[in-house]
C-alpha cells in the first residue's frame, strides 16, 4: 500500500554537512575509521540517489534508507562531539592553524595565554603570540610548512600572554592534509617550571663548583669495572688534570712515589675488607709543578663496583697547623723564659700551669696539681687565695705582693690577676707577677735624688727655668719671686719676653728663633730684664738645648743670674784698673827714662876709666841696667793682660797679623784653620807673634811654618809647627819658664800666661831634629766656626 507522499530528503544538504564535518582536522587526524565510515556513507548515499533517480524506489525503501542515513549522521555527530570534548578537556594546549592564523585552540591554550575563550584567539596571527625576537624564526617555519618544505617539528621559543608577560614554551607540530588544504596542528607545553628548574640546577652546579673552589675540595669516582676515573672541576683543579676521563693507573701516578704503596694498600683494604679510606698524601701538580697536600675520604659501592671519594687541598691547613705548632712552641719558649712569674689556677687554688721563673723563684720542682696552701707559707697563701677569689669575682685585680724567695730574699711583685674562660664552664684564674724590687729601690733613689735636686733648685741663688720651642715657660724655680718679683705660677705658660723691656723683645725673639733653628747647645748672653715693679736690671743667662730620647729639640733649660751689682762692681774695677794702669805707665816711663839716662852716663864714664877692675864693674852695671829695661818691658806687656775682656778672634787673621811685624820673607807659611774662631785675650796676637819670633830666633834653619787644627771630643787642638831643629827633649819641660831663653827669656812664658786667661793650654810635642810643634788645647766653650764672609 502506498503511503502518503513525503518531501524527498535533502541529500545534498546532508552530504555537504557530512563532508563539512569530515573536513575537520580532528576527525581526519585522529579517527581514520570515522573517515572510512563517512566514505562508505557517501558511497551508499550516492547509490541511493542513483537508485532514486533511476528506479524511483518505493517510499518504504526510501524511508528506511533515510532513517539509516539519519542514524549514521547522528552517530557521526556524537563521535565528533566526543572528540571535540576530548581535545577541549585536554590539559595539553592544542591549536589548529592555517596560513599562519588560528582556526582552533582548546581551553588549555586559552588558559596558558591568559585568554577567556577561543573566540579571542581564532583568526589572529600566530606571530602575535610569539616574543618579537623569536618571530622571524617562527615565521620561517610557518612559511616552509606552507610551501611543503621541511621545517622543525619540535622546538622551543618564547610566547606572549594577553597581559604582555612572557613564558617559554616547547611546541610539537604536524601538518594534516585535508580536502580543502593542509592544516597545522600543534601541541604546546609551557616549560617555565622546567626552565626554572634547569636554571636552578645550573645555579646549583655553579654554586657547587664555587664551593669546591673556595673550600679547595672536589669529588672523584673510580669505576673499577671500566678502569676509568671521572672527577669534578674541583678535583681536576687540585690534581692538575686536563680532559674528562682518565684511567685508574694514570691517576695513581699523580701522588709522590713515597705515598703510592700506602694508597694502593688503603684502596685494596676499602674494596676487599671494608676498611675505612681516609688518607693524607702529597702530590706534585703537573699544571704548576706545585707540591700539594691532599686529604681523601672514600667509600665503595659493591653493587656498581665503584669507589666514590672526596678530596681536599689541605696545603694551607697543614701550613697553618705547622705555623700554629711553631707559634705554640715560641709561646711556650716565651712563657718559660719570661722574666716574670706566670701561672694558671683553678677555682680551688690548684696550680694548672707555672713557668720556670716562678718555679725557680720558690724552688718548686713540680707544682702542677698542688694547691697554693701546699706551696706557700700559710699567711702568704691565705692572702693570695683571697686575692684570687676577688679576681675571679671581679674579673681583674692588681695587687702588690711581698714574698720571700727560695734564697730567703724579700721580694716585691706587681701582680695582675684575671679570670679566664674555661670550656668546662668552671672559672680559671690567670696571673702575671713582675718583680719590682729593684724598681722600688730605684724609685727610692730617684725620689731621694729629686728631693736633693729640688732642694738645690730651691736653695740656688740663681733662677732655674725651662721653656719650650715656642718660648713659653714650662718650669720656673721659686727664686723667680726674689729675683723678678713674680710668683712661678704667674709665669708658667707665658713667653720669656714677659721679663724683657719692650725695646729688647724683638731682638730677643729673633735671637731665640735663630737658636731654635740651629739647636745650639750652650749659649751665654747678658741682657737687660724688667722687674715686676718696672725697674730695669742686668742679668746673665746661660742656657742649653733640651732634647727628647730621639734627639728632637723640645726646648731649652738654663739659669738666670742677677749681675746688676756685678756690672757696677766691674765698672768700678775697670775704672780702678785704668787709673792703676795709668800710674804704672807713668812710673814705668819715669824709671825707664832714668835707666836710659843712667846707661848713657855709664857709657860716658867708661871712656875715662883706665883701670881694668873699674871697667869690669862698669860692664856689670851695664848688664844690670839692661836687665832693668827688659824687666820694665815685660812688666809693661804683663800689665796689659786681662785689662780688656776676652773676645772671639779669627785664628787665620790673627796669625797673619802676628807675622806681619816679623821678617818672614824667607819662611813660607800655611794656615789651614778655615773659619775657626777662638775666645781669647786681646793679646792673642802678641802670643802668636812670640811663637813666630821664637822660630826666627831659635830655628835658624826653618823654611816653613804650618798651622792646622783637629776637633776632638773635649775641644779643639790648634797645631803650630816649623821644620827647624826642634827643641831638645831635656829642655821641653822648662821652655815656658820665665828664666828660659837666650835673650829675654820671657817669650813663651808670656804666651802661656796670655792663653791661660781663657783656659787655653799649650805644650810642645815636636821631635828634636825635625822641628818644634806647639799644641794649643781649646776647651769646647772656647771655639766656634763661622761662615766665610
Flag the least confident range among 44-53, 298-307, 408-417, 432-441. 44-53
The answer on pLDDT for 279 being more than 70 is: yes
3-class secondary structure, 155: strand
C-alpha 39/C-alpha 44 separation (Å) is 9
Which of 242-251, 256-265, 538-547: highest mean pLDDT?
Answer: 256-265
How many CB atoms within 10 Å of residue 424?
8
pLDDT band for 21, please (50, 70, 90 cuts).
Answer: very low
The answer on pLDDT for 156 being more than 70 is: yes
Residues 2 and 60: beta-carbon distance below 8 Å: no
C-alpha 758/C-alpha 783 separation (Å) is 11
Write down the pTM of the prediction: 0.37
Once rounded to an integer, what is the mean pLDDT over residues 603-631?
Answer: 67
C-alpha 8/C-alpha 58 separation (Å) is 12
pLDDT band for 20, please (50, 70, 90 cuts).
Answer: very low
The answer on pLDDT for 310 being more than 90 is: yes
Once rounded to an integer, what is the mean pLDDT over residues 304-331?
Answer: 90
The answer on pLDDT for 44 being more than 90 is: no
Mean residue pLDDT across the chain: 82
Q: What is the per-residue pLDDT for 618?
A: 67
The answer on pLDDT for 34 being more than 60 is: no
* DSSP 8-state secondary structure symbol assigned to residue 304: T
Distance between first and last Cα of the chain = 167
More confident residue, 582 or 729: 729
Q: Could you report the per-residue pLDDT of 577-609, keeping only the tens digit for each?
A: 666 665 566 666 667 676 677 767 667 776 666
C-alpha 494/C-alpha 478 separation (Å) is 16
pLDDT band for 14, please (50, 70, 90 cuts).
Answer: very low
Q: What is the per-residue pLDDT for 113?
A: 94
Residues 210 and 302: beta-carbon distance below 8 Å: no
Flag the least confident range among 566-570, 674-678, 694-698. 566-570
| Spatial CB neighbours of 430, under 8 Å, sequence gap ≥ 6 | 342, 343, 344, 417, 418, 419, 420
Once rounded to an integer, what is the mean pLDDT over residues 354-372?
Answer: 89
Flag the least confident range among 47-56, 318-327, 380-389. 47-56
Once rounded to an integer, what is the mean pLDDT over residues 597-624?
Answer: 68
Alpha-helix runs per DSSP H in 23-118? 25-30, 32-55, 59-89, 107-113
Amino acid at each position: 500500500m502506498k503511503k502518503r507522499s513525503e518531501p524527498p530528503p535533502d541529500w545534498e544538504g546532508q552530504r555537504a554537512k557530512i563532508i563539512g564535518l569530515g573536513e575537520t582536522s580532528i576527525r581526519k587526524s585522529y579517527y581514520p575509521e570515522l573517515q572510512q565510515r563517512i566514505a562508505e556513507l557517501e558511497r551508499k548515499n550516492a547509490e541511493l540517489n542513483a537508485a532514486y533517480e533511476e528506479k524511483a524506489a518505493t517510499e518504504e525503501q526510501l524511508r528506511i534508507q533515510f532513517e539509516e542515513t539519519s542514524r549514521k549522521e547522528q552517530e557521526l555527530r556524537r563521535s565528533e562531539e566526543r572528540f571535540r570534548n576530548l581535545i577541549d578537556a585536554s590539559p595539553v594546549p592544542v591549536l589548529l592553524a592555517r596560513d599562519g592564523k588560528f582556526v582552533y585552540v582548546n581551553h588549555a591554550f586559552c588558559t596558558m595565554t591568559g585568554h577567556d575563550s577561543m573566540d579571542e584567539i581564532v583568526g589572529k596571527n600566530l606571530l602575535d603570540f610569539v616574543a618579537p625576537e623569536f618571530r622571524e624564526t617562527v615565521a620561517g617555519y610557518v612559511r616552509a610548512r606552507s610551501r611543503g618544505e621541511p621545517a622543525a617539528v619540535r622546538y622551543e621559543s618564547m610566547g606572549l600572554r594577553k597581559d604582555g608577560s612572557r613564558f617559554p614554551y616547547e611546541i610539537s607540530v604536524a601538518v594534516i592534509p585535508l580536502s580543502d588544504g593542509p592544516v597545522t596542528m600543534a601541541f604546546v607545553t609551557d616549560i617555565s617550571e622546567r626552565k626554572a628548574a634547569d636554571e636552578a640546577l645550573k645555579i646549583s652546579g655553579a654554586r657547587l663548583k664555587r664551593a669546591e673552589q673556595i673550600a679547595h675540595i672536589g669529588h672523584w669516582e673510580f669505576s673499577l669495572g671500566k678502569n676509568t676515573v671521572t672527577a669534578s672541576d674541583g678535583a681536576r683543579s687540585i690534581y692538575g688534570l686536563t680532559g674528562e676521563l682518565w684511567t685508574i693507573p694514570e691517576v695513581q701516578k699523580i701522588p709522590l712515589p713515597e705515598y703510592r704503596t700506602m694508597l694502593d694498600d688503603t684502596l685494596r683494604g676499602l674494596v676487599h675488607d671494608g676498611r675505612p679510606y681516609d688518607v693524607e698524601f702529597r702530590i706534585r701538580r703537573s699544571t704548576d709543578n706545585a707540591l700539594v697536600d691532599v686529604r681523601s675520604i672514600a667509600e665503595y659501592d659493591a653493587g656498581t663496583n665503584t669507589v666514590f671519594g672526596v678530596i681536599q687541598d689541605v696545603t694551607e691547613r697543614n701550613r697553618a697547623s705547622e705555623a700554629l705548632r711553631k707559634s705554640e712552641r715560641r709561646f711556650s719558649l716565651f712563657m718559660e723564659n719570661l722574666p716574670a712569674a706566670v701561672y694558671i689556677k683553678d677555682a680551688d687554688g690548684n696550680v694548672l700551669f707555672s713557668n720556670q721563673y716562678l718555679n725557680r723563684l720558690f724552688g718548686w720542682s713540680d707544682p702542677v696539681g698542688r694547691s697554693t696552701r701546699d706551696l706557700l707559707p700559710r699567711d702568704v697563701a691565705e692572702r693570695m687565695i683571697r686575692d684570687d677569689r676577688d679576681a675571679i669575682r671581679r674579673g681583674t685585680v692588681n695587687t702588690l705582693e711581698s714574698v720571700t724567695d727560695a734564697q730567703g730574699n724579700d721580694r716585691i711583685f706587681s701582680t695582675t690577676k684575671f679570670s679566664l674562660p674555661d670550656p668546662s664552664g668552671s672559672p680559671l684564674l690567670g696571673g702575671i707577677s713582675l718583680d719590682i724590687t729593684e724598681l722600688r729601690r730605684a724609685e727610692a733613689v730617684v725620689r731621694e735624688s729629686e728631693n736633693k735636686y729640688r732642694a738645690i733648685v730651691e736653695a740656688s741663688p740663681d733662677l732655674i727655668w725651662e721653656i719650650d720651642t715656642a718660648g713659653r715657660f714650662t718650669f720656673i724655680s721659686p727664686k723667680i719671686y726674689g729675683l723678678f718679683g713674680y710668683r712661678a705660677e704667674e709665669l708658667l705658660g707665658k713667653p720669656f719676653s714677659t721679663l724683657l723691656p719692650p725695646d729688647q723683645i724683638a731682638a730677643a725673639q729673633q735671637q731665640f728663633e735663630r737658636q731654635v733653628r740651629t739647636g745650639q747647645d750652650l749659649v751665654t748672653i747678658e741682657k737687660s730684664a724688667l722687674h715686676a715693679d718696672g725697674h730695669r736690671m742686668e742679668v746673665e743667662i746661660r742656657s742649653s738645648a733640651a732634647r727628647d730620647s730621639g734627639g728632637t729639640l723640645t726646648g731649652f733649660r738654663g739659669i738666670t743670674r742677677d749681675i746688676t751689682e756685678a756690672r757696677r762692681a766691674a765698672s768700678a774695677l775697670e775704672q780702678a784698673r785704668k787709673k792703676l794702669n795709668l800710674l804704672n805707665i807713668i812710673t814705668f816711663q819715669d824709671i825707664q827714662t832714668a835707666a836710659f839716662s843712667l846707661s848713657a852716663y855709664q857709657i860716658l864714664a867708661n871712656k875715662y876709666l883706665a883701670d881694668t877692675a873699674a871697667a869690669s864693674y862698669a860692664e856689670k852695671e851695664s848688664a844690670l841696667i839692661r836687665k832693668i829695661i827688659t824687666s820694665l818691658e815685660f812688666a809693661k806687656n804683663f800689665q796689659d793682660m786681662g785689662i780688656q775682656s776676652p773676645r772671639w778672634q779669627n785664628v787665620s787673621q790673627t796669625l797673619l797679623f802676628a807675622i806681619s811685624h816679623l821678617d818672614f820673607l824667607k819662611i813660607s807659611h800655611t794656615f789651614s784653620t778655615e773659619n775657626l774662631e777662638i775666645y781669647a785675650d786681646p793679646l792673642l796676637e802678641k802670643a802668636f807673634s812670640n811663637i813666630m819670633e821664637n822660630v826666627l830666633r831659635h830655628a835658624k834653619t826653618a823654611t816653613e811654618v804650618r798651622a792646622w787644627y783637629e776637633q776632638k771630643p773635649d775641644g779643639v787642638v790648634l797645631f803650630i809647627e816649623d821644620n827647624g831643629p826642634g827643641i831638645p827633649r831635656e829642655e821641653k819641660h822648662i821652655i815656658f819658664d820665665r828664666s828660659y831663653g837666650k835673650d829675654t827669656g820671657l817669650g813663651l812664658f808670656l804666651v802661656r800666661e796670655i792663653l791661660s786667661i781663657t783656659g787655653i793650654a799649650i805644650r810642645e810635642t815636636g821631635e828634636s831634629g825635625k822641628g818644634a810643634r806647639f799644641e794649643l788645647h781649646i776647651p769646647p766653650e772656647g771655639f766656634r766656626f763661622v761662615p766665610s764672609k
